[in-house]
Structure formats: structure tokens, C-alpha cells
Amino acid sequence: MNISVVGLGKLGAPLAAVLASKGFPVVGTDVNRAFVDAINTGTAPVDEPRLQELIDENRERLRATPDAAAAVAETDVTFVIVPTPSDVTGGFSNDFVVSAMQSVGAGLRRKSGYHVVVITSTVMPGSTGGEIRAALEAHSGRRVGDALGLCYNPEFIALGSVVRDMLTPDMILIGESDAKAGDTLERIYDKSCDNKPLVRRMNFVNAELTKISVNTYVTTKISYANMLADICDRIPGADVEVVTQAIGCDSRIGVKYLRGAIGYGGPCFPRDNVAFAALARSIGARAELAEATDTLNRYQIERVLGAIQARHPGTGAIGVLGLAYKPDTSVVEQSQGLELVERLLEDGQDVVAFDPRALASAQASIRQPFQAAASAEACVRAASLVVVMTPWPEFRAVPAEAFTRSPRLTVIDCWRLLSREEIGAVADVVYLGRGAAQPAPATA
Ligand SMILES: NC(=O)c1ccc[n+]([C@@H]2O[C@H](COP(=O)([O-])OP(=O)(O)OC[C@H]3O[C@@H](n4cnc5c(N)ncnc54)[C@H](O)[C@@H]3O)[C@@H](O)[C@H]2O)c1
């Protein structure tokens, strides 16, 4: 089975490489010529662990073309993974997907035989069977049915582990126009997954709802744990880690994503939650739970700023360790570290920051430039107060000596990452989520 992938970005490039690594001949296409050229010269177009390795190993089965119609015409299945940016209502715009249907349709006109079009971009409920199907049928001159299958098949991946998550997913979610289309797609996953994931097949709208519901549920769990961390901040002796680890023993709850730290970010969680609430409101359903999750998430940065304000000596730079929205990625979209830097700069504070991968992307997306340190250690040495914003494991390796000075350095550790024995011995480490992280309330 020959496969085409339309959109070679953060998700499309890894998918193309994973499918090629499992023996499928894959041709990718993108409106961004640089991404097409990157694939053809054997270079990963995006920064993602293991992607380069997969491209290196599978070059004979992986190539790209700027001609999307040609890519579709020479293949049997087409995955469409183009952006679906949030619109003013909080929902997702289908404009890029609908526009991609023009070239997909043109390619289908050039070929005969069965073809399946798979929408992998995250779309709002009603989209696949609505305007996307209409655009596909109009441009291809074919009706979805015997000669043309349509599926909605979003990926459940996290940036930084996209390849691993694609190879060993918990679930394959397939919204299908009919059984033939779903069977074709399921056969691809039979071959491409290293594990035997649960497969859930359903109609389009249930699959579209499932996708945004999963992320909304996870963000609710994160905000719940963060609410608990905020409570623990204010109670001497309380420790969110101890409480969440115990709560997570209950099999109805589980420990995953129940960490209690700071807000969630990235290109999916914040906007999927907002889209879920927008959907509920648009059809007259109650949206308070999703809205509260978002409100609590936006509040998390205030917790960090409050902790800084209470302890900053007043002069010297504030050192921010971590700008990526999570470890193992250079993505800074909606990242708490970047938001902190922006808020501090707006407030006229001096900032020095470091991130193992995201320094360049942070500088490119921030309004005011900040001082970038050459290493985590240099960032600590240059700062008069340090905040750990992303739990990169390498921050643990900064030697205690870098934190040692008189008067003692204050470190605000949002992820309780640094060793209490080593760093706590030489610096005043404030672990967010552990009693007394916030200043005591003023008494009358
Ligand atoms: N990044 C994630 O973590 C993630 C996770 C789950 C779902 N998604 C969803 O996947 C979709 C894609 O996300 P992404 O992060 O890969 O986006 P991205 O911006 O990194 O990549 C999208 C690519 O599509 C290309 N493109 C746009 N229009 C095109 C067209 N008509 N033909 C060919 N190429 C075109 C762009 O040039 C870009 O390279 C979105 O709907 C997103 O919500 C993303």
C-alpha cells in the first residue's frame, strides 16, 4: 500500500517516517518548500527525537514533492495533517484542511481505483462529515462510498515523544465513512504499531468528540492537581506530591498527569480544552467544568509570580530555567516559562534564561529579547533568584557549587526537581506545592 502525507510539520513528518520505517512507500508533500527539500535531502524538517534516525534508515521508501496532487495520484491512502488554528470562537478553523482538499481532489481525478483520505488534523465535531467531505467530493468529482473512503483519525501523541507514541499508542481512534475505509486504515496500524493498541471505530462525530474529550479530561486532571498544589502551598507541612501519589493509588484515578506543578501549555492541551467549552456553549450545553480548568490554568503563572515577588531581593536578574512547554521539545507555544519571561520583562525586571533546546524558538516568539545563558549552570550563576519552569532532567546536574553564595540564593522549584539534600543544603529552595511556598497571609 502506497501512502501520501499532506503536511510535513510536527506531526506529519514523524508519521511519514514511521510509516516508511514499517515498509510502506511514502511520499510527503507540503506547501513549505523547505520541508519538501529537507525530506529529499534526508534531513528532519522538524525537531523531534528519533525522527532523524528514522529518516536516515528509510530513505529508499521516503521522499517528498511540492505537487500534492501528484503525491495523491500515485498512492492508495492519503493522510492530511495540516494546521487547524483556533478561531475567534475558540473552535478550530478548517480552512487549511478544506484548501488541501483541492489538491487531494485534483490528485484523485488523475487516478482510478479505491482511495482512502484520512483526516488526522484535529477538527471540530461535524467537520469531517460536513464541509471536509463536501470539499473532497466537489474537488475529486467522486462520492464518498465504494471508490472513495474517508476517515477521521487523530493522533494521541505528545511532542518530544511523537515517534514513540506513534509506535506504541494506547488507542487507535477511527471515525469511518464505512467499514471498507476503516478496515483499510486499521490494516496500516496493524503493520505500523509495535504494540497491539485498542482500536475504537465509530462514526465521524463520535471520533471528533472523543479526540477533544480526551485532552479536556487530561487538562481537568492537571488543573485539579494544580489546585491541590496551590492549597498545599499555603498549609505548613502539606506536600502535593505525597497527596497526589496517594490519591493516584485509587484505580479510578491513577497517578498519570496528577503531578501538581504549574500550568499546561503546548499546541494542543490549552486549545482543545477551550474548543470543547466553545462547542458546549454553541449548542446550549453547560461548559463550566472545561472553563474552570482553563481559568485555573491561566492562574498558575500568578502563583509563580507571587512566589517570586515575595522573595526576590530587588536587584539582579531573575534566572529562568526552562522555556519549552515540556522537556524534549523546542516548542514554546503557550509555554509557562516563556510567559513568565514575558511577564517579568513587561514588569521591567532583568531576566536571564536557559533551555536545552528552546532558546532560539523562545527568542523568535517573544516580543522583547531576553538575555540567554550559555548553559543551565551559567544561568544559575548569573541570577539573583532562580525559577525552575520546565522539568528538564539535566537541570538536576547543575553542581551545588553554582547555587552557593552569601546571602543564600533563593530557588523557586515549580517541579520539585532539585535535590533537597544537595541544593537545599546550599540554597533556599522553595518547592511549589510544599507547605509555605506562598507567603503567609497578612494577619490583621
Ligand atoms: N503538534 C501536536 O502536538 C499535535 C498533536 C495532536 C494533534 N495535532 C493536530 O495536527 C494538526 C497539524 O499539527 P502540526 O503540529 O503538525 O502542525 P504544523 O504547523 O507543525 O504542520 C502543518 C504543516 O502543514 C503544512 N500545510 C499547510 N497547508 C498545506 C497544504 N494545503 N498542503 C500541504 N501542506 C500544508 C504546513 O506548511 C506545515 O508544515 C493540527 O490540526 C493539530 O491540531 C497536533
Q: What pLDDT is stored for residue 440 in this prediction?
A: 46
Query: When comparing pLDDT for 444 and 94, which is higher?
Result: 94
Nearest to 308 by CA among 344, 354, 356, 360: 344
CA distance 50 to 192: 16
137: left (phi over 0), alpha (psi -120 to 50) or beta: alpha
Q: What pLDDT is stored for residue 233 in this prediction?
A: 92
The residues with which 106 forms a beta bridge, in sequence order, are none
Mean pLDDT of 364-389: 96
CA atoms within 13 A on the CB side of 95: 5
3-state DSSP call for residue 148?
strand
CA dihedral 204, 198, 83, 46 (to 10 degrees): -160
Mean pLDDT of 83-100: 97
Q: What pLDDT is stored for residue 312 in this prediction?
A: 87
Q: Whose CA is nearest to atom 43 of ligand 1?
A: 122
Mean pLDDT of 190-202: 98
Q: What pLDDT is stored for residue 443 in this prediction?
A: 42
CA distance 235 to 230: 9
Q: Which candidate in 193, 232, 249, 268 is catalytic?
A: 268
Mean pLDDT of 321-328: 97
Distance, CA of 436 to chain centre = 31
Q: Is 101 in the pocket of ligand 1 (CB under 6 A)?
A: no
Q: Is 162 in the pocket of ligand 1 (CB under 6 A)?
A: no
Q: Is 99 in the pocket of ligand 1 (CB under 6 A)?
A: yes
> Looking at the predicted structure, is the pLDDT value of residue 435 above 90?
no
Report the nearest atom of ligand 1 relative to the CA of 84: 41
CA distance 181 to 78: 12
- Torsion sign across C-alpha atoms 13, 14, 16, 17: positive
The pLDDT mean for the chain works out to: 96
CA distance 50 to 36: 19
Mean pLDDT of 287-310: 96
Whether 379 sits among the annotated catalytic residues: the reply is no
Mean pLDDT of 411-419: 97
Q: Is 121 in the pocket of ligand 1 (CB under 6 A)?
A: yes
The CA-to-CA distance between both ends of the chain, in Å, stands at: 74
Q: How far is the CA of 159 from the centre of ligand 1 (A)?
A: 13
Per-residue pLDDT tens digits for 1-12: 999 999 999 999
CB 391 within 8 A of CB 415: yes
Q: What pLDDT is stored for residue 436 in this prediction?
A: 66
Mean pLDDT of 421-431: 96
Q: 444 pLDDT band (50/70/90 cuts)? A: very low
Q: What pLDDT is stored for residue 313 in this prediction?
A: 80
Which H or E element spans position 163? helix 162-167
Q: Is 160 in the pocket of ligand 1 (CB under 6 A)?
A: no
Report the nearest atom of ligand 1 relative to the CA of 156: 6
Q: What pLDDT is stored for residue 441 in this prediction?
A: 45
**For residue 119, what is the DSSP state?**
E
CB 231 within 8 A of CB 147: no
> Looking at the predicted structure, is the pLDDT value of residue 91 above 60?
yes
Q: Is 7 in the pocket of ligand 1 (CB under 6 A)?
A: yes
pTM for this model (two decimals): 0.93
Per-residue pLDDT tens digits for 161-171: 999 999 999 99
Q: How far is the CA of 61 from the centre of ligand 1 (A)?
A: 22
Q: How far is the CA of 10 from the centre of ligand 1 (A)?
A: 7
3-state DSSP call for residue 63?
strand
Q: What pLDDT is stored for residue 371 in this prediction?
A: 96
Nearest to 337 by CA among 388, 269, 410: 388
Mean pLDDT of 286-298: 97
Mean pLDDT of 350-358: 97
Mean pLDDT of 116-120: 98
Mean pLDDT of 86-97: 97
Q: Whose CA is nearest to atom 41 of ligand 1?
A: 121
Nearest to 332 by CA among 250, 280, 284, 266: 266
Q: How far is the CA of 93 from the centre of ligand 1 (A)?
A: 12
Mean pLDDT of 319-329: 97
Report the nearest atom of ligand 1 relative to the CA of 9: 21
Mean pLDDT of 320-329: 96
Q: Is 323 in the pocket of ligand 1 (CB under 6 A)?
A: no
Q: How far is the CA of 212 from the centre of ligand 1 (A)?
A: 16
| Poorest-pLDDT segment among 91-95, 381-385, 431-435 | 431-435
Neighbour-count burial of 33, counting CB atoms closer than 10 A to its CB (0-12 exposed, 13-18 middle, 19+ buried)? exposed
Q: How far is the CA of 46 from the centre of ligand 1 (A)?
A: 11
φ, ψ at 374 (rounded to 5°): -80, -20
Q: The cell 477511527 sits on which residue? A: 174
Nearest to 141 by CA among 177, 176, 102: 102
Q: Is 30 in the pocket of ligand 1 (CB under 6 A)?
A: yes
Q: What pLDDT is stored for residue 438 in this prediction?
A: 53
CA atoms within 13 A on the CB side of 89: 13
CA distance 74 to 185: 18
